[in-house]
Amino acid sequence: MTRERILLHGLRQSTVGHTAAGLWRHPDSQAHRYRELSYWVETAQLLERGRFDALFVADALGPLDTWQGSVDAALRDGIQTPTDDPLLSISAMAAATERLGFAVTVSSTYERPYQFARKLTTLDHLTDGRIGWNIVTSALDSAARNLGLDQQLPHDQRYLLAEEFMEVVYRLWEGSWEDDAVVRDAAAGVFADPARVHPIAHAGEHYRVPGIALSEPSRQRTPTLYQAGTSRAGQAFAGKHAEGVFLSTYEPAGARALADGVRAQAVAAGRDPSTLKFLSIATVIVAPTDAEARAKLADYEQYASVEGALARWSALMQLDLSQLDLDAPLEHVETDGIRGMVDLFTRIDASRTWTPREIARFVGVGGGGPLFVGSPATVADGLERWIEQAGVDGFNIADPVPPVTFRDFVELVVPELQRRGRVWREYDGETLRERLQGAGQERVRDDHPAAAWRRAGTHA
């Protein structure tokens, strides 16, 4: 029996501390090299050697300043601060690889769609069709304050803004230039036929874009689209627009519920839900034997920062956890956010008394998703079991001690998954969309909303 291939994306942010707090202090960590181009090139080459589908580079536009109302804790632990722009290293990584895709987070709330469409088309040109966009609307108040707003736009309003943003970029990517607009007729002195290039004439509530797309179409036209929203509005948005969906949850039942919710929204939007691919964040600590892997985890845990982990969770929840007794059981705190935390962690392990400190220790190494620890066979068993129970298609593999944890996964886990037929030995197809949709599917599918803006003769 042929088993489905497990999708693999590597997860990084251009910062010192992302999913793990404090582990930059480990002597094997090279997280401080995030400022070096060689760091990113080496990462891309390593993941391609492991036949990963893509490197996903996350981003945040504001510092984490909810804990104690200050950025101090985030700065001390390097939690998403300092951070660099994730777009700028991609062309160099693409030049050093042949098949690895690149998914990058960019906020629709703070970009302008006309110039953003050109940026992504440029990257799709330079990567030869290997670029993807993780669409976010940005939830940090610190980002809003530093980008010209007195406070963050309300949650659902950000998604309404994003809907018009998507219409504009779809029209630019799919409808402005016909496939045969670039004729390169040297004898006639015509590079692009003006009759085949069309202004989009968009005049909406938030954006006015009367003219043509500045860039000629790229291989994918519309980049491969990802989304990670879990709210009601976020699930509806993902069901309508996303081709890949990132999930952050610690137990498979929660992942399955989120995925099923987005699939239902896809059906409501007139899309085939089987074409949406779901990837759960996961952290893997692997060694030749189970005992060695447990020892490695214990070593990493010595460097985890309780304050850094709680500073990250405070920002995620927009709730200052420093106001709580770190050693008091959370079930005695009556707020919606805390009740949600209690519910989440009780489902993971009802036998434990969950205090803020215990949660920080639990997420210190594997923040954002499940932690798989063991030999290659043990880890592969765990990954396959999660796929079956959660109903997802693959994983965003985190790298808490870069590049050690990526390298261990590539050298130890990937060969075991290949032996089981769960990871390919050679890439099939060339573009990022083909990684998710299958060889030959370079452009968005006909049931995707971007396809509605194609002109006659512009369908691949």
**pLDDT tens digits along 384-412:** 999 999 999 999 999 999 999 999 999 99
**Residues 101-145: pLDDT tens digits?**
999 999 988 889 999 999 999 999 999 999 999 998 876 777 777
Domain residue ranges in the chain: 7-284+371-453
Closest CA to 248 of 316, 297, 304: 316
Residue with the larger pLDDT of the pair 4 and 352 = 4
- Is the model's pLDDT at 457 over the cut of 60? no
Q: Would you say 182 and 191 are in contact if contact means Cβ atoms under 8 Å apart?
A: yes
Residue 378: per-residue pLDDT: 98
User: pLDDT-derived band of residue 319, with 50, 70 and 90 as boundaries?
Assistant: confident
- Torsion on CA atoms 229, 234, 236, 242, rounded to nearest 10: -40
Residue 204: per-residue pLDDT: 95
Residue 401: per-residue pLDDT: 97
> Which of the following CATH numbers is that of domain 7-284+371-453: 3.40.50.2300, 1.10.1670.10, 3.20.20.30, 3.10.20.30?
3.20.20.30
- Is the model's pLDDT at 335 over the cut of 90? no
User: pLDDT-derived band of residue 318, with 50, 70 and 90 as boundaries?
Assistant: confident
- Is the model's pLDDT at 39 over the cut of 60? yes
Burial 349-369 (b: 16+ CB within 10 A, else e): eeeeebbbbbbbebbbbbbbb
Residue 321: per-residue pLDDT: 87
Residue 147: per-residue pLDDT: 74
Average pLDDT value over all residues in the chain: 92
The answer to pTM > 0.95 is no
Residue with the larger pLDDT of the pair 222 and 161 = 222
- Is the model's pLDDT at 168 over the cut of 70? yes
- Is the model's pLDDT at 303 over the cut of 80? yes
Closest CA to 307 of 366, 357, 367: 357
* Mean pLDDT confidence for 264-280: 97
* Mean pLDDT confidence for 56-80: 90
User: pLDDT-derived band of residue 338, with 50, 70 and 90 as boundaries?
Assistant: low
Residue 460: per-residue pLDDT: 40
Residue 125: per-residue pLDDT: 98
* CB-neighbour burial class of residue 270 (10 A; exposed 0-12, middle 13-18, buried 19+): exposed
Cα four-point dihedral sign 235, 239, 241, 245 = positive
